[in-house]
Chains A and B, each alone.
Chain A
Amino acid sequence: MNIEKVPASHGLKWLMQGLVLLRRSFLIWVLFVLVLWGMVFVASRLPFAGLLLALFTPVFLGGPHDRLPEPGKRWRPRDRPLFRRFPPRHTKSRRAWRLLSDRQRRHRGIDVCDWRRCDSADRRRTGAEPRSGDPHAGNRARFGGFACRDGAVDAADHGNVVRAFAGGVLTRKTRNAHCATVSRLAGGTCCPFWSTG
């Protein structure tokens, strides 16, 4: 996370952008304000609850804000790292991971597969198997491991991950860095597969 310094004129710009956001998704913002107002209203009538609410306001704001659309977009994409569950410990076990249904895997976000440890069915399913028309297939093959595509990571992110390691030698260091990158993108779901070997 980086804290940017912005010029003073951006204060006005934020207001304008806020108006644009409000116009684009009016109902969501109205609901957000109503919910927030309701919480404040109820808390103000309960002893000590007002103080607690004040302390936890950033937490309450974090959730709705995460679901709100970004400027320039109508809707927030469905998969967001903040709300994605981390995979359970037993995902270290390949068998246990396989017992999960495809649907459950999709809910857990990105599924990372080590080239050497997955069978061809896994590779095909997760997209590791080079497919015709895939611009990153060659890169994937070169660095050996990859982050497979899921709804969570868009094509641009996926391409960046792949490109960052294309042409490099896959060592423990690069692999760990790769893992960190994918974790950042997907909410920390790949490490169990990458931590050994």
Chain B
Amino acid sequence: MLPFLVYGLVLLIPLVLLMAPFDLTSMERNPGLWVVVLVMLPSIYTSYLEIFREVADAPAVQ
């Protein structure tokens, strides 16, 4: 939970800074959000890779 809290708080800064100069009434037309999403998706992917890991099989030699 804590890493995602840190992640969210850190991501909030560019989100506000990049979105504020543009039109906030239409999210789809806000280029700031596009940029943040572009950073957000790979980082979420990275986080999932780290959290959900395949367990290595124990050798079944008798």
- Chain A residues with CB under 8 Å of chain B are 1-4, 6-12, 14-15, 17-19, 21-22, 29-30, 32-33, 36-37, 41, 65, 68, 70-71, 163-169, 171, 173-174, 177-178, 180-181, 184
Closest to B8 in A: A11
- The interface residues of chain A, by DSSP majority, are classed as helix
Of the candidates A8, A30, A165, which one forms a contact with B38 in the assembled complex, judged by CB atoms under 8 Å apart? A30
Whether A9 and B6, one on each chain, are in contact in the complex, defined by CB atoms closer than 8 angstroms, is yes
Binary CB contact string for chain B from 1 to 21 against chain A (1 if under 8 A, 0 otherwise): 011111110110000000000
Q: Count contacts between A and B, CB distance < 8 Å.
A: 122
Whether A18 and B6, one on each chain, are in contact in the complex, defined by CB atoms closer than 8 angstroms, is no
Compute how far the CA of A7 lies from the CA of B52 in the bound complex, rounded to whole angstroms. 15
Whether B11 and A15, one on each chain, are in contact in the complex, defined by CB atoms closer than 8 angstroms, is yes
Chain A residues, Cβ within 8 Å of B43: 14-15, 17-19, 21
Closest to B60 in A: A177
- Chain B residues with CB under 8 Å of chain A are 2-8, 10-11, 28, 34, 37-55, 57, 59-62
Whether B11 and A21, one on each chain, are in contact in the complex, defined by CB atoms closer than 8 angstroms, is no
Whether A15 and B53, one on each chain, are in contact in the complex, defined by CB atoms closer than 8 angstroms, is no
Chain A residues, Cβ within 8 Å of B55: 1-2
Whether B51 and A3, one on each chain, are in contact in the complex, defined by CB atoms closer than 8 angstroms, is yes
Whether B38 and A33, one on each chain, are in contact in the complex, defined by CB atoms closer than 8 angstroms, is yes
How near does chain A come to B53, taking the closest CB pair, in angstroms? 5
Whether B28 and A22, one on each chain, are in contact in the complex, defined by CB atoms closer than 8 angstroms, is no
Closest to B40 in A: A18
